[in-house]
Homo-oligomer: A and B are copies of this chain.
Amino acid sequence: MTYRAPVADIAFALKHGAGFMQALADGLHPELGESDVDAVLEEAGRFATDVIAPLNRLGDQHGTLFKNGTVTMPPGWREAYRAWAEAGWNGLAAPAEWGGQGLPHAINAACNEMWNSAAMAFGLGPMLTMSAIEALAEHGSEPLKAAYLPKLVSGEWMGTMVLTEPQAGSDVGALRTKAEPTGDGSYRLTGQKSFITYGEHDLTDNIIHFVLARLPDAPPGNRGISLFLVPKFLLNADGTPGARNDVRAASIEHKLGIHASPTCTMLFGDRDGAVGYLVGEENRGLACMFTMMNQARLGVGLQGVAIAERATQQALAYARERRQGRAAAAREEGPSPIIAHPDVRRMLLTMRGLTVAARSICFATAVAIDRSELLPDEASRKVAHERASLLTPVAKAFSTDIGIEVASLGIQVHGGMGFIEETGAAQHLRDARIAAIYEGTNGIQAIDLATRKLPQSSGATVHAYLGELRDTVSGVITANDPAFGATGARLAEAVESLERATHWMLGELDSRPQSVLASATPYLRLFAHAAGGCMLADAALAAMRTGDGTADADGRIALARFFANHIAVLASGLERTVVEGAASVTEGDAALA
C-alpha cells in the first residue's frame, strides 16, 4: 500500500499539541487564518500523496547511477522535483524578498513531514537546500544573496551542506580542507569531503555547495573554520551558470537505505582550486553552520516522524486486511483480522503513540522558532529561541530513534511478509536508520541537550517548560474523565522523574561532567517520554474542549492513555539510570576489556 498524507492529524497536532493556534491568537501571523493553514496542508498532502509517494519504491530499487563524475537520479524524480519546486513548495518558509512565500516554519515543518513520508530520499535534498537558504540569508553578503538566493529559494538550484571529512565526522573541528584568499575577494578551496548528501545529481542546472574549510592562518579546531559558498558552475555576468568550477563527485556510497539520495565523496580543487566565496566572517563558520544545522536537525527529526507515520499506515492497513487465527473476543466465525489480536494491537498503538508524540515535539519546536523570530519584544524572542534550542535535540534524537523502532515494529506486524522486500515494510527500516546518525548523531544531540541547553538562562528555560508539563498533568487530573484511566497519575510521575533528573543533571554539570555525558542519552529519552506523553494528553484535552465529534476526542484520549501506561511509565526507571547509572558507564572499563 502507498502513503496517504494524514492531513487532518497533522493539522490538529500543529494547531493544538504544538500551539500554532496560540500563535495565531497572539497575532504572530496576521496574514494567516486557520483556513489558510488547512488549505496549504491539504494541497501539500495532495502533492505528497499523488506525485511523490509513487516514487519511493522505485527510487529504492533503482537507486542513483554514478558514471564519469555524474549522478543520474531514478526515473521520474527530476520531473517530480521540478513540478514540486514550480509549485512553490521549496520556498514556503523562505523570505518573501528572495521570492519565498514567507510562511511560518511551523507550516513548513508540517509539509516537510509529508515530503519525507512520501519519499525520504526525495525530501532530504530540499531539506538541505532550505537549511542552506537560512544560512545564506542570515550570514551572506548582499551581492552573494542577490546572486544565489532567488534560485535557491525557487528550487531552480539546490544547496548542499559540505562538512564531513574522513577524519572529521562528529568532530567537525578536525577538518583540513583549505581555503586560500586570491586577493579578488574569492577563495580557492582544496580538499576532500565525504558523505555529501545530494553532492551531485541531475535534478537542477546548478548545485550550490556550502563548504566548511580552513584559512591558511586559521587557529586550530572549531575556531578556525570558515564557511564558503562553492557553486558547481560559476556564474556568468548575467547570473546564469557558466564555467564548471573545480569541484566534482569522485564516487557515491552503497548504502543501507535512502538509495535514491546520492551520498558523494566530493573533491574540491584537484586541478587549480575550487572558487569559493566567504559566507559570514572568517573563522566564524561554525556559527553559520549551526544556523544550517539547527534547521536541518529539526528537519531530520521530521524524517523520523515521517518514516514512523508511513510505517504505521502500512502496518495498520495490513493488520486490518490480513486474517490469521480467531481472536478470543471475535464475534464472527473464522480467522480474524490480526488487528483484533491484543499483541498486534499493542504494537500498532505503540507505533501510533510514538509517532504522534514525536510529531508534536517537532512541531512545537517549529512553533517556537517562529515565535523566536516574530514576537514583538526581544526578551520574549529570547525566551522562544531558548525554548526552540531546548527542544531541537529532543526533536531530532527522539524522533529518529522512534523512527527506527516504529519501522522495525512495522516489519513485525507484517510477520514473514515484512522481511520480503516487495512488501515495502523493510525499506522503511533501512531508510530510517540513517536519521539517528546524520546532522549530529543522537548521542551528540543528547550531549547538546545536557551540556548546552539545560543550562540556558541558569536552568530557567527548562524549568519553564517543566511548568507547562505540570499544567498539562493538572489539566488531565482536573478533567476527571474515567476514559483517561491512570493517565494523570502516570504522567505526573513521569514529569516528577524528569524534574528530579533535570535537577541532578544541572547539579553535576560543573562538578562531574563525565557523569552528565554518561547519563545524557537516558535523560533525553526520559525528557521525550514525559514531554511526548503530556503533549498527547494536551491534544486530547484540546479535542475535548472543541465539543464536537470532529476532533476525535475518544481516539486522542485512548492514545494518551496507552502512551502513559506503556511508554511514559518507564520514566521512573530512566530517572534512576540518569541519577545512579553514570558510574557504571564511566567506571565500566573492565567490562569492555
Contact = CB atoms under 8 A, between A and B. Distances in A.
A217 to B, nearest CB: 21
Interface string A500-518: 0000000000000110011
Nearest to A319: B592
A580 B522 CA distance: 24
Interface residues of A, number: 100
A255 B421 contact: yes
A185 interface: no
Contacts of A554: 590
A451 to B, nearest CB: 10
Contacts of A117: none
B443 A347 contact: yes
A239 interface: no
Contact of A433 (B341, B411, B522): B411
B592 A577 contact: no
A256 to B, nearest CB: 4
Contacts of A492: none
Interface stretch (A40-48, A68-76, A108-116, A565-573): A565-573
A418 B257 CA distance: 11
A415 interface: yes
Given A324-B169, A416-B437, A562 B586 contact: no
Interface in A136-193: 164, 167, 169-171, 174
A278 interface: no
A569 B564 CA distance: 18
Contacts of A576: 490, 565, 569
Interface string A330-348: 0000010001011111111
Given A411-B433, A418-B437, A571-B573, A446 B343 contact: yes
A585 interface: yes
Contacts of A586: 329, 342, 345
Contact of A254 (B328, B404, B420): B420
B438 A345 contact: no
A418 B404 CA distance: 14
Interface in A400-458: 404, 408, 411-412, 415-416, 418-422, 426, 429-430, 433-434, 436-438, 441-443, 446-447
Contacts of A342: 514, 517-518, 520, 582, 585-586
A591 B580 CA distance: 36
B421 A436 contact: no
A164 B324 CA distance: 12
Contact of A581 (B514, B558, B565): B565
A592 B316 contact: yes
A51 interface: no
A297 B167 CA distance: 44
A573 B447 CA distance: 25
Given A412-B441, A521-B346, A569-B577, A171 B324 contact: yes
A352 interface: yes
A583 interface: yes
Interface in A245-270: 253-257
Contact of A170 (B325, B513, B558, B569): B325
A419 B490 CA distance: 37
A586 B194 CA distance: 49
A325 B422 CA distance: 42
A577 to B, nearest CB: 5
B416 A559 contact: no
A454 to B, nearest CB: 16
A240 interface: no
B418 A592 contact: no
A243 interface: no
A292 to B, nearest CB: 17
Nearest to A343: B443
Closest 10 CB pairs of A and B: A565-B581, A558-B591, A342-B518, A559-B591, A343-B443, A570-B573, A256-B426, A554-B590, A342-B517, A171-B325
13 contacts: A257-B419, A341-B443, A349-B592, A408-B408, A429-B433, A430-B430, A485-B583, A486-B580, A490-B576, A522-B566, A558-B589, A566-B585, A569-B581
Interface of A: 164, 167, 169-171, 174, 194-195, 253-257, 316, 323-325, 328-329, 335, 339, 341-349, 352-353, 404, 408, 411-412, 415-416, 418-422, 426, 429-430, 433-434, 436-438, 441-443, 446-447, 485-486, 490, 513-514, 517-518, 520-522, 552, 554-559, 561-562, 564-566, 569-574, 576-577, 580-593
Given A349-B592, A430-B430, 19 more contacts: A170-B325, A171-B324, A174-B335, A345-B518, A346-B521, A349-B585, A349-B588, A411-B433, A412-B436, A412-B437, A419-B434, A429-B433, A522-B566, A552-B590, A554-B590, A558-B587, A562-B585, A566-B581, A569-B577
